[in-house]
Structure 1
C-alpha cells in the first residue's frame, strides 16, 4: 500500500472490496466472513477452495459482486444468497455444485454464464430441468395374507365365530317367541272353553 508492505494480523471490517483471486488457497471459506458487513465486492476465484458455500454469505447485505468461480466447491447453492438485494455480479462457474438454482430477487437477473461448468446444477436459467418429485407409492391392495390378518386382529375364524353366535342367538330368540305365542294361543283356547261351560251352566240354572 503506497509502496509499503504491510502485514495485517486480521482483516479489517472497513474493507469494502477483497480480491484474493488466482492464488493457491486451500480449505473452506470461513463462516466468519459474515463479519465483513461493509463488504461490497468479494473475489475468491481461481483457487483450490473446497467444501460448501457458507450460508453466512447471505448476511453480507451490501455485497454487489461475488466471484467464487474456478474452485472445487461442492453442495447446493445456499438459498440465503437470495437475501443479497444489491448483488449485481455473480460467478459460481467451474465448480462441483449440485441441485436446483435458488429463485427469487436478484437471482432472476443472472444468466447461464454464472453457473457454467457445474454439470449437476439444474433449474432456471439453465435448460436442464430439475427432476420432479418421485411418484407416490401405489395404494395398498385389499389382498392380505394370513400373517397380515393375524397382525390386524381380524381373520376368517373370527367371522365364523361371530356368524355362529348370531345364528344360535337367532334360534333361541325365535324359539322363545314361538313358545310365547303358543302359550297365548293355548290360554285363549282354555278361556274360550271355560266361557262356554259358564254360559251353559247359566242356561241350565234358568
Structure 2
C-alpha cells in the first residue's frame, strides 16, 4: 500500500521500475541524496494518493505524465533542483506553492514566477508516419510488388524465349530490329570517319 524510504541516505537515480507498482497509494523518498529526473513511469501509478520527493537533488522538468495521477492528494517536490514549467491539469491545479518551494528553476502557476517563451514546452511537430495501416505505405507496397513481379516475369520470359528459340515471330522481330539498328549505326560511324 505504501513505501516510506525517507531519511535513508539513498543516492543515485530513482528506478523507473517503481512505476510498475500501480496499486501503490503512498511513496516517500524525502530527505535522501537522489539525483536525476523524476521518472515518467510514475504516471502509471494511478492509485497514488501521496508522493513526497522533497529534500533531494532531483533535476529536470516535472513529467507531464504525473497529471494522470487523479487520486493524488499530497504532493511535495520541495527543496530539489527541478526546473521548467509546472504541469497543468487535473490534480496539479489543486497544489499550492509549498509543494514546489526551493526549486528555483520552476515557473508557472501556482508560483508567482511566470514562464518566459523560451521555458514553455513546445509541442512536438507531428511527422508524417508511414506505419503499417497507412494508405501511403499500402500504395508503395503494391507498386513494389508489381515492379518486382514484372522484373522477374520479364527476365524469365526473355531467358526462355532466347534459349528455346520460340516463338519465332518474336525472335525474328527482335533480330530484325537489332540488325537494322546495328547496320544503321555502322553506316553512320563509317560516314563520320570518311
TM-score normalized by the length of structure 2: 0.60
1:109 and 2:97 matched: no
Name 1:27's counterpart in structure 2: 12
Q: How does 1:1-206 map to 2 (within 5 A)?
A: 16-133=1-118
Alpha-carbon separation, structure 1, partners of 2:62 and 2:76: 12
TM-score normalized by the length of structure 1: 0.57
**Residues 95 and 133 of structure 1: CA distance in aligned 2, closer, same or farther (over 3 Å):** closer
CA RMSD of aligned residues (A): 1.1
Larger Rg: 1
Alpha-carbon separation, structure 2, partners of 1:29 and 1:39: 16
**Residues 124 and 30 of structure 1: CA distance in aligned 2, closer, same or farther (over 3 Å):** same
Alpha-carbon separation, structure 2, partners of 1:36 and 1:106: 20
**Residues 47 and 126 of structure 1: CA distance in aligned 2, closer, same or farther (over 3 Å):** same
SS in structure 2 of the partner of residue 73 of structure 1: strand
Q: Is the 8 A contact 2:20 2:41 kept in 1?
A: no
Alpha-carbon separation, structure 2, partners of 1:57 and 1:133: 26
| TM superposition shift of 1:54 | 0.2
SS in structure 1 of the partner of residue 106 of structure 2: strand
| TM superposition shift of 1:133 | 4.8
Q: Unpaired segments of 5 or more residues in structure 1?
A: 1-15, 135-206
Alpha-carbon separation, structure 2, partners of 1:31 and 1:133: 28
